[in-house]
Amino acid sequence: MGRVAFVNCDPLYHDLPPPWEVLPAPPSWLTGHILRKDCLLAPIPTADFAKYSDQLQLLPDICIGSTGTVGSVLLFGDRDPSQMRDIALPTDSATSRKLCMWLLQQMGLNPRPVNMGPDLGQMLDRCDGALLIGDRALDESARHPELIRMDLGQAWLELTGFPMVFAVYAAHRDAPPEMLREAHKLLRTQLESFESSPTVRDSVIRATSTRSGFSEERIEQYFGEVVHRLDSLGEKGLKHFLEEVCALPSYQIVDL
């Protein structure tokens, strides 16, 4: 029937009932899938939504964000950010790239951005700082805690006072409304079950741990850091990011 488009999405995607399927792909690829109408909806980088807002619609209530520490969007380095001359930026998340450079500029810093593949060793061999996101950030933070210089979720909160919305759930403006409402309702139900049922939460944590290789303790901690519900304060943080960082003066959250 449809495909919705992975540690951070598991509370919504775990054991989706037929006929729904998950389309696993990096965040930046998901944007292309939505634009090409390969899938019905996906959590795409917030910066990508701003870039393609004329073709996309933003869904309410759900997101990928944080109120403070997120643990999976990290700037690594062997020196303080104020001493970083250049920063390696991965190509797999437009939001984190924009956010990192914007935060540093707000601190009065202007390091040179360098596009690189998300390999921490190679990044730090060439640059003073390295930005990693997602599973790679979680993995490298466990192996090299001494190299963590900035958690971008925490830095955003300290600077703005708002939660940070790293990814929004979006669909093409031509998506079938009834199918979109059905998928959105299902994902909200999945999230509510994860939040309210210890049995469901434990099941998701075990499955995510097995699939990802991270310990159940680390997954449980991460699910306490990442925010999946887009509430009114999150909407204010989203608006601030879209306006101040992405220069998107207006947008609309679709009413489902």
Same-domain check for residues 151 and 106: yes
Whether 218 and 189 map to the same domain: the answer is yes
Main-chain phi, psi angles of 60, to 5 degrees: -80, 165
> Is 180 a domain residue?
yes
113 and 236 assigned to the same domain: no
Per-residue pLDDT of the chain (256 residues; tens, 9 = 90+): 344 446 889 999 999 999 999 988 877 789 999 999 999 999 999 999 999 999 999 999 999 999 999 999 999 999 999 999 999 999 878 999 999 999 999 999 999 999 999 999 999 999 999 999 988 999 999 999 999 999 999 999 999 999 999 999 999 999 999 999 999 999 999 999 999 999 999 999 999 999 889 999 999 999 999 999 999 999 999 999 999 999 998 888 888 8
Kindly state the tokens that stand for 169.
């759930």
- The answer on 191 and 87 residing in a single domain is no
What is the extent of the structural domain holding 126?
Answer: 73-160
| Shared-domain flag, residues 43 and 153 | no
| Domain termination site, one of 134, 160, 186 | 160
Strands of the chain, DSSP E: 2-4, 20-22, 41-45, 56-66, 73-77, 86-89, 112-115, 129-133, 148-151, 164-172, 226-229
Domain count, the chain: 2
Could you say which of 160, 177, 205 is where a domain stops? 160
Q: Is 31 in the same domain as 85?
A: no
Residue 255 lies in a domain: no
Would you say 50 and 248 are in contact if contact means Cβ atoms under 8 Å apart? yes
The whole-angstrom separation of Cα 233 and Cα 161 is: 10
168 shares its domain with 202: yes
- What pLDDT does 2 receive? 47
pLDDT value at position 6? 64
Residue ending a domain, choose from 160, 186, 215: 160
Going 223 to 225 to 226 to 232, the CA torsion angle's sign is positive
